[in-house]
Structure 1
C-alpha cells in the first residue's frame, strides 16, 4: 500500500487555484450559483489528496465529520425557512414594514433608512430588504434631493446588519456552523462589535443628512402611499404582531436553545395569524412548506413578501453541506495546515491572527467572488489554529463577520456587490464609500481583538477557551 506523503503548500495551492477558477467562471461569466463549482472543488481537493497517497476512507471521514458539525445549523435553517413563511402569512413581517415606514421623518431620512432596512433584514435578509424596501427608499431620496450613492450606502449598511446579527440569516448560520458554535451564542458574542459599528454608521448618516433637511412629510407619504396601502389592504395590522419578534429576542437574551426559540416564534405567529388574519391551518402549513406568495397587486410589495418556506431554503442548505465537505477534505488531508503554516509564521498576536483572517476573507471575496466561500474557506483554514492556541472560536466568528460578510457588497464583481448595484441602480464603487457600517466592521473587528489581546504577550501564551 502506498504511503501517504506530506501535503505541501503547492498541493494545497493547486486545489485552491482549480477551485477559484471554477468559482470565478461560474459566478461571473456564466451567472451560475456556486453549488456545482464548489462540488467540483471537492473533487479537486480529493484528487490532490489521493495523488499524495491519502486514503479515500480518510477523505470520506473528513467530509462526513465536517457535515455532522453543521447539522444543528441546518436544522435551524429549516426552522427559519418555516418561520419566515409563517411570519409573513401571519402579518408579522408586513407589520414591521408598515410601522417602520410610518415613523420615518424627512429630517433624519438617512439614519431612518438604515434603521428600517436593518429591522426588515433581520427577517428577510440583506438581498430581500435591499431589493424591495430599498427600492422604495431610493425613490423617496430622489424626491428629497439626496444623492443616490449616499442613500444606497445607508440601505446596504442596514441590510447587512441582518446578515451579521439575525439568527434567521443563512450567512449567520453558516458562520456558526464553520466555527462550531451555536448561532445564538455567535450572535451574542458578536453583538457588541456590530452595535458599535451600527452607532458609528448612524452618526455618519445623521451628519451627512444635515445637508438635506428640506424634505417634507408629504414627500415621504407620497412616495410610500401605494406601498403602505397595499400592505394595509391585504393584512390586518396591529402592534400585537410584534409579539413573535419580541419573544424571539427574549429567547436569545435568555440563552434559550436556538431550535426552541425559533419554534416558539413559529407557534406564536401561527396563533396570531389565525386570530388576526383568519389564516387556517392549511394556509399556514402551505406558507411553511412553499413560502408566502404576495398577492397585494403592488409588484414591489409582492416581491418583498414572496419569501420563506422550506423549498426556498434548500439551495442554502445544500451549499452549506458542500462547503463543509470541501473544508473537511482540506482539513483531514492536511491541505488546510499547509495553507495556514506560512501565514502563522508571520503572526505573533491575537490582533495579527484576526488581521490574517480578515485579509484572507477579503481576498476570498475578491478572487472567489461569493460570500459563502469567503466565510467557509478562511473559517476552516484558521479554525484549527484558534484551537491550537487556546483561543475562543467565537473570536474567529468576529473576524469572519467583519472580513467576509461585511465586505462582500463592496466588491463590484462579487455576487453581493453585483446584486446590490443592479437592484439599487448605483455602481458598487459609487456607494461603497458611503456604506459606513460595512466599511467600519473590519476595522472594529481588529480593534476589538486588539483590546482583548494581552499586550506584549506572544500568541502562544494567550489564554482563552476553545469551543
Structure 2
C-alpha cells in the first residue's frame, strides 16, 4: 500500500509534529493533524477511495469511544468529588492516619494492591490517586514524585492482574493461556517491583518530608466543608462498580451522581454552582490547593484521542505496517535478546505513531507470532509484548493512556515519568531476562533438554 519511503515520511512527520507541539505548548491536535493528513493523502494517492478512508477512520474513532468517555467523566468527577467534600474529607482523613515519612512508598504499595484487584490503571488512579495527590500537595512532597509512585503502582495491575483487559489482550494476541502468561511475567515483575520499591524507599529516606510534622497539617478543610462518613460513598461506589466489572464509564456516572446527591445534602450547593464547576472546574479563593479543572479543559484532549483513533483505524484497516514485519524481525533472529530488542523497538514505534496501547499490543503479538514460533516459545513473546508494547504507552506524552493518566493525577507525563521506575525498569528487566534465558537455554540444550517452543 505504501512504500517504505512513504511510510517513513508519515511516521517522521507524525512524531515530529507531536513532539514540536508538545514542547512548544501548541495544541497537540495541530501537531497530530499533520501526520494524519499526510497518511490520508498518501493512501488516497495509492488508489484507495476517499469514502473507504473515511469509513476506516470512523471505525478507528469508534474504538476510542470508551477512552473518550473516561476522559470526559474524569473532567467531571474531580470537581464533583471536591464540591461534595469527598476529596477534602479523604485528604484530612489521610493526614490523620498516614505517616508522611514513607508517603511515596505507601502510595506505591497501596496503588499496587488496588490495581491488582481492579485490573485498571485509570480506575486505580481515580479512586486512590486523586486524594493522595492532594495529600502529597499539603505535605509539600513534589507532585511528580507522588504521581510517579501512583502511576507505577497502577501499571502493576494494568499489566499483571488477571482482571486487566490489557493483560488478557496480550494473552489472546500471542496465543498463550492466562496461567502461562502469569508464569512468563513473574521474573520481570519481581525485578521491576524490587527496583520500584527500593527507589521509593530511598526517596522517602532522603526527602524533606521524612522529617515533617504531620500535626501541622491536620484538618485543613474542615472549616469550609461539612464532614460525614457518607462522603466516602462516591469512592466506594466507583471501586465496587469496577470490582463488579461494570463498564468504567458507568462506574464514573454512578459515582458522580452519588457525589452530587451527598454534596447537595451536606454542602448546600445550588444546581448553578454544580453545573458551573463541572464545566469550568472547582475554584476557591480560600482553598487554593483544591482547585481543579473541569470538562471544558478536556475538549482538546478528547479531539486528540478521536484523531488518534482515526489514524489507528487507517493503519489497521489497510495493514500498512504488516508488510514490513518480516524485514524488522528477520527470517530467524540470532538470539532471544536480538528478537526482544527488535520487538520492543517495534512496539515503541507503534506506540509513538498510533497513540494507543491496544494497537501496539495486538499488532506486535499477532504479526510477530509466526516468526517467533520458528525459534522461541510463545510465552516469551507474550512477556516481551507486556514489558514493551503494553508498558511503553504510559511513557509517550501523546499516547491516549498517558494522557488519561496525566490528566487524572494532574501532572504532565514527562514530569512524572522519571519518578515512575516500574515503567522504565520493566523494559530493562526483560532485556536482561532474555539474555539470561538464552544462556540458560543454551546450557539446557547442551544437556539434552530442548526448548518448549
Q: How does 1:104-119 map to 2 (within 5 A)?
A: 104-112=98-106, 114=108
Which residue in 2 is equivalent to 1:403? 392
Quick one: distance in 1 between partners of 2:430 and 2:297?
32
Which residue in 2 is equivalent to 1:73? 67
Whether the aligned pair in 2 keeps the contact of 1:274 and 1:280 (CA below 8 Å) is yes
1:105 positional shift: 1.9
Q: How does 1:384-463 map to 2 (within 5 A)?
A: 384-387=363-366, 389=369, 399-405=388-394, 407-408=395-396, 432=418, 435-442=420-427, 456=451
Structure 2 residue 375 is matched with structure 1 residue 383: no
Deviations, residues 432-466 of structure 1 (Å, cap 9, x unaligned)? 3x64333334457789999xxxx9455xxxxxxxx
With 335-344 and 195-204 compared, the bigger mean Cα shift is at 195-204
Aligned-residue RMSD, C-alpha: 5.0
Structure 2 residue 116 is matched with structure 1 residue 122: no
Quick one: distance in 2 between partners of 1:133 and 1:214?
12
Which residue in 2 is equivalent to 1:33? 27
Q: How does 1:238-249 map to 2 (within 5 A)?
A: 238-249=228-239
Q: Which runs of 5+ in 1 are unaligned?
A: 1-5, 141-147, 167-171, 182-188, 459-467
Which residue in 2 is equivalent to 1:60? 54
Q: How many residues align?
A: 393
1:107 positional shift: 4.2
Quick one: distance in 2 between partners of 1:49 and 1:163?
36
Cα distance change, pair 245–124 in 1 and its aligned pair in 2 (3 A): closer
Which residue in 2 is equivalent to 1:318? 303
1:48 positional shift: 1.6
Which residue in 2 is equivalent to 1:50? 44
Quick one: distance in 1 between partners of 2:235 and 2:225?
17
Cα distance change, pair 85–238 in 1 and its aligned pair in 2 (3 A): same
1:37 positional shift: 1.5
Secondary structure (helix, strand or coil) at the match of 2:222 reads helix
Quick one: distance in 2 between partners of 1:457 and 1:88?
54
Quick one: distance in 2 between partners of 1:211 and 1:84?
31
Whether the aligned pair in 1 keeps the contact of 2:311 and 2:354 (CA below 8 Å) is no
1:248 positional shift: 1.4
Secondary structure (helix, strand or coil) at the match of 1:234 reads coil
Whether the aligned pair in 2 keeps the contact of 1:241 and 1:272 (CA below 8 Å) is yes
Quick one: distance in 2 between partners of 1:62 and 1:262?
30
Quick one: distance in 2 between partners of 1:239 and 1:353?
54
1:319 positional shift: 0.8
* Residue of 16, 19, 23 corresponding to 1:24: 19
Which residue in 1 is equivalent to 2:255? 265
